[in-house]
Amino acid sequence: MAYHSLTITPENTYAQESIEKDTILKSVSLTPYVNASEKRAAVTATIDDGALITICSLVVGHSESKVLNLPLKKGTKIVLGAEGCNDIDVLFYEVDDLSEEVDGFSEEGLGEKYLALSIEGGQTQTLKETTPIRILNAALKGTPTSERTVLLCGAGGASTPVATFLPGAKETEVLDLLFEANEEVALTAVGPNTIDVLVLRGTGYPEEVLEDAECSNECSAQCSAQGERRKTSPEIHPDDVQVKRIQLPEVVTVPETKTSPETNTVTVPETKTSPETNTEAKTDPETNTETIVDVSVVSEGIGRVIGRKSIISCKYRTILPIPEKEAEEVIPLRKAGEHRVLKYFADKIRGAREGSIMKATVTTAGSVAEYSISVGEIVQSVSC
């Protein structure tokens, strides 16, 4: 078993013509840097040439990640896209061989086809399949109105609310409802919004596999394409469109110092400085003023190590002073020290890995500037 991850941008789609192994689409989440000017970000999917539906809708500051556990059988075709202006991380859990993982399990029941349903407000859709079906999840479609919408599910004549959606707060619900073959199931949307529902013909993965994926969730951080995605609680600034998650510096425990009874002296242990932050005071030769530069690593990459002679791609952003400015360019690392923005990160970039994200706060007399960079791929590298 193994984790795989990818980052979907609003401008691009991810397409897999045929999944090589049985896989679980484990979870989706916003990347560490989000644009708070648009609260909603949605993941859309087309599975086996079916209808395009929304499988998950994330809301900045409310629900920024969601565990989905969507089973994708070997050979499934899937196309994923993103709506909104924010990038979204998707985590996959690849299953090696279910017949070995679970005693008595047969892949015939895993599921042969997905059903993608879009139920408009006030409408009802009825399902009656010759095989068992599992209603996996439901999400609001498109740009919903501010009014709440409820999904009702009925079998045998009685309808029960199974999900309540609040636009701008809660727009996705994992249902995991299993119904027997030939059982008539009615789904009704009560409210003004359209609800997308994903249904699987078959029982899906057994609980043992999903539990294994949950227990191994620590491995997901090592497989992320953009590095570790463990986030601290988000801090939202109303006056700044950027919401930043800052990795907390390493906590160092100083061992208790023992006093020698013979010499009655105290030995003070050397203080360990966290490698994630670096504060340095410099004097600007042009203005003859002291500049304090505080650099921190927000997210460590997992790609190749960047050396002194590497030529890298960088996306950098001026957060303060407002207005925000963003640029992207390819630059040799040895030239970074001469760059107006990258010079603050030059020492940190060398030895870092592809995909790392850093932030720098530059304080001078009477002004504070804040920058962030996302280190891309090594375009060219010469042995250092």
119 and 7 share one domain: yes
d(CA 194, CA 139): 9
287 and 214 share one domain: no
- Look at residue 254 in the predicted model and tell me its pLDDT: 45
Query: Please, are residues 1 and 92 in contact by the beta-carbon 8 Å criterion?
Result: no
- Look at residue 44 in the predicted model and tell me its pLDDT: 94
Residue 250 maps to a domain: no
Residue 229 maps to a domain: no
Residue 363 maps to a domain: yes
d(CA 23, CA 80): 15
194 and 94 share one domain: yes
Task: Using the 3D structure, point to which of 206, 223, 240 is the last residue of a domain.
Answer: 223
Task: Using the 3D structure, point to which of 184, 201, 223 is the last residue of a domain.
Answer: 223
Residue 172 maps to a domain: yes
94 and 219 share one domain: yes
- Look at residue 354 in the predicted model and tell me its pLDDT: 84
43 and 191 share one domain: yes
201 and 350 share one domain: no
- Look at residue 117 in the predicted model and tell me its pLDDT: 93
Going residue by residue through the chain, which has 384 residues, state the pLDDT in tens, using 9 for 90 and above: 688 888 998 888 888 888 888 888 999 999 888 887 788 899 999 998 889 999 999 988 888 899 998 888 888 899 999 998 999 999 998 886 554 443 333 444 445 688 899 999 999 999 988 888 989 999 999 888 888 999 999 887 778 899 999 998 889 999 888 888 889 999 999 999 999 999 988 765 555 444 444 444 444 444 343 343 333 334 434 344 344 444 444 444 444 444 444 444 434 344 333 345 566 666 555 555 678 888 988 877 777 888 888 888 888 888 777 677 888 888 888 888 888 888 888 888 888 888 888 888 888 877 888 888 888 888 875 543
- Residue 210 is given by DSSP the state H
- Look at residue 234 in the predicted model and tell me its pLDDT: 41
Residue 231 maps to a domain: no
34 and 137 share one domain: yes
Query: Please, are residues 92 and 100 in contact by the beta-carbon 8 Å criterion?
Result: no
Task: Using the 3D structure, point to which of 223, 243, 265 is the last residue of a domain.
Answer: 223
* Surface-to-core class of residue 285, CB atoms within 10 Å of its CB (0-12 exposed, 13-18 middle, 19+ buried): exposed
CATH of the domain at 332: 3.10.50.40
d(CA 296, CA 276): 5
Residue 259 maps to a domain: no
64 and 135 share one domain: yes
Q: How many domains does the chain have?
A: 2
303 and 172 share one domain: no
Task: Say which residues have a Cβ less than 8 Å from residue 330's Cβ, sequence separation at least 6.
Answer: 311, 312, 313, 314, 379
219 and 283 share one domain: no
Domain containing 95 equals 2-223
- Look at residue 57 in the predicted model and tell me its pLDDT: 92
Residue 242 maps to a domain: no
d(CA 2, CA 18): 18
- Look at residue 235 in the predicted model and tell me its pLDDT: 41
CATH of the domain at 132: 2.60.120.340
Residue 236 maps to a domain: no
292 and 218 share one domain: no
Half-sphere exposure of 266 (CA within 13 A, CB side): 5
Q: Which of 87, 96, 95 is nearest to 6 (CA)?
A: 87
